A = this chain, B = another copy of it.
Amino acid sequence: MSFIATPQSMHFDEPLPLQGGGSIRDYDLAYETYGQLNADRSNAVLVCHALNASHHVAGVYEGQPKSEGWWDNMIGPGKPVDTNRFFVIGINNLGSCFGSTGPMHLHPDTGRVYGADFPVVTVEDWVDAQARLLDRLGIAQLAAVLGGSLGGMQALSWSLRHPQRMRHAVVVASAPNLNAENIAFNEVARRAIVTDPDFHGGHFYAHGVVPARGLRIARMIGHITYLSDDVMNQKFGRQLREGIDLKYSTQDVEFQIESYLRYQGEKFSSYFDANTYLLITRALDYFDPARAHGGDLTQALSVARARYLLVSFTTDWRFAPARSREIVKSLLENNRDVSYAEIDAPHGHDAFLLDDPRYMSVMRSYFDGIAQETQTAAKEAA
């Protein structure tokens, strides 16, 4: 049984300038906090989410015992990121569909639902929005920014945009940018959504429909790429759904893996917003801090001041270890303090959300170190 989490929301009147041009104003950010901010406000840890996640990082909601946050195994009292020692903040990003302002909300200029007119937001925009929320919470410097996958990109971006505002960046199962294959998978998912007749150019809300067909396909593709080949073979292999007999049908479910994917697609399409899917996959595509430096990642990371932990997983073919190693190499070339763990885990990209003991142990040790340094600094200041 986990602790009780309480979602909160903060409103921002002032326009936030966006990387793609223009700005967004009158928006809300949903967030949650766990643990206590210490006296010198030095124990705050920001957790950034990936595609299908939110500010609800840990704990459960009152009266909903099965509503564990998406990283509840990692964050909480006595857990690797120990909320008895850290003040942990989860924020839902702009454009998402879990509480912060997104495409399903009203455009303040027109009074109509944003839909496809919601501005394209980037990792950098999210980081800046998060920084404003921290301003309002009175947190000048974070002990750490932590994230996996797209969340890891945010942690990396934080260390470049706000180098003085954080002591540690913990970048899990991430990459300095997406490669062509990753962009390709995102593009197929987007095309499935955009070409669904129920998408209506992104203004499906007004038609009382959702492009569920497209969302299902998008999620099925996603699921394949989150898992490793090995774990899929181990979990499903060529198992048939109904005993030992083949039905010889092109449209019915025949194999267990088909049943699993259809179920995942169906579930996802019932709650995820199609425009959010487009926005978040585009944020993934666009992220590329080296771009402004002619592709030179080492130069891009030269402004970094944080200390880093990078973690990758051997069977993750979406954000392969080689991509994490690129970041490690560029940080070392900048004489940054970097720890790197390459975890031999069978679960593919999904591994970053699972309970691999070596992974958990690496995270626990690293955050123990941060906690000790935070306490020492607090004592010295006292």
Interfacial residues, chain A to chain B (CB-CB below 8 A): 19-21, 116, 120, 122, 177-181, 183-185, 187-188, 190-192, 194-197, 202, 213, 216-217, 220-221, 223-224, 227, 229, 232-233, 235-238, 246, 248-251, 254-255, 257-258, 261-262, 265, 275, 278-279, 282, 285-286, 288, 291, 317
The answer to whether residues A188 and B220 also contact, given A179-B229, A235-B180 and a CB cut-off of 8 A, is: yes
A-B contact pairs, 26 of them (CB 8 A): A116-B251, A120-B248, A177-B238, A180-B233, A180-B235, A180-B255, A180-B257, A181-B233, A183-B255, A183-B258, A184-B223, A184-B261, A190-B251, A191-B216, A191-B262, A191-B265, A192-B192, A192-B217, A194-B251, A195-B213, A197-B197, A202-B251, A229-B317, A238-B288, A248-B286, A250-B278
Partner of A238, one of B180, B195, B255: B180
Instruction: Report if A180-B232 is in contact (Cβ < 8 Å); known contacts: A187-B220, A188-B261, A217-B217.
Output: yes
Contact B179 A191 (CB under 8 A): no
CB distance from A265 to the nearest CB of B (A): 7
Indicate if the CB atoms of B20 and A184 lie closer than 8 Å: no
Q: 9 smallest A-B Cβ distances: which pairs?
A: A20-B248, A250-B278, A180-B232, A120-B248, A195-B213, A180-B236, A188-B220, A187-B258, A180-B257
**Nearest B residue to A119, CB-CB:** B248
User: Residues of B contacting A184 with CB < 8 Å?
Assistant: 220, 223-224, 232, 257-258, 261
**Copies per complex?**
2
User: In whole angstroms, how far apart are the Cα atoms of A216 and B192 in the complex?
Assistant: 9
Which has the most chain B C-beta neighbours within 10 Å: A197, A257, A265?
A257
A223: chain B residues at CB < 8 Å are 184
- Chain B residues near A116: list those with CB within 8 A: 250-251
Q: Which residue of B lies closest to A247 (CB)?
A: B20
In the complex, given contacts A179-B238, A180-B238, A251-B278, what are 19 additional A-B residue pairs having Cβ atoms less than 8 angstroms apart? A20-B246, A116-B251, A120-B249, A180-B235, A180-B255, A180-B257, A183-B255, A184-B220, A184-B258, A187-B257, A190-B251, A191-B217, A191-B220, A191-B265, A192-B217, A195-B216, A195-B217, A217-B217, A250-B282
Contact, CB under 8 Å: A246 / B278: no
Residue of B at shortest CB range from A288?
A: B238
CB nearest neighbor in B for A235? B180
State how many angstroms separate the Cβ of A187 from the closest Cβ of chain B. 5
Q: Which of A181, A235, A278 has the most CB of B within 10 A?
A: A181
Given A120-B248, A120-B249, A217-B192, verify A183-B257 contact (CB < 8 Å). yes
